[in-house]
Amino acid sequence: MDLIKKWDAIEALKAIKQGLWEIDIPHPGNCPEYVEHHKQIKDMMEITDGWIKRLTDMPSPPWIPCSERLPEKSGLYLVTNVTPLSNPVTTRYYNAGTTESFWSGYPNDEVTAWMPLPKRYEGRSE
């Protein structure tokens, strides 16, 4: 995750938490529906806090700027780009030895950095 995007995600989670806080308005009486609603809101706020902490503690991945170098081999790579028509972080096929290196199909698509795809998740052995 790009460092700037990481902080955008953290700010979005903080806004969600604030929205949850605003939903959880005290209700007069001890109505069972309110008690359950309050517990659900509290649980969601704790989950949101957990994600904020995970994102804050997560190291930034080793992005390689395209201006420094391009991949040596053709293949699928994780890329970050500045095209408003596509996701800011996505995968692109790199065709080594061509002028159109990271193909997307979008006009004016400018890939700014790349990294190898992470290894496939194999599951946990219990």
Chain centroid offset of residue 115 CA: 15
Count of beta carbons in the 10 Å neighbourhood of residue 77: 22
Tell me the C-alpha to C-alpha distance, in Å, between residue 56 and each of 5, 15, 51: 12, 15, 8
By three-state DSSP, how is residue 92 classified? strand
15-19, 22-26, 107-111, 119-123, range with the lowest pLDDT: 22-26
Closest by CA position to 77, among listed 104, 106, 107, 58: 104
Total-model pTM? 0.46
pLDDT tens readout for residues 5-38: 677 777 888 888 887 767 655 665 667 777 777 7
Q: Residue 125: pLDDT above 80?
A: no
Contact 71, 94 (CB under 8 A): yes
Q: Where are the domains of the chain?
A: 3-57, 64-116
Residue whose C-alpha is closest to residue 38's, from 24, 56, 27: 24
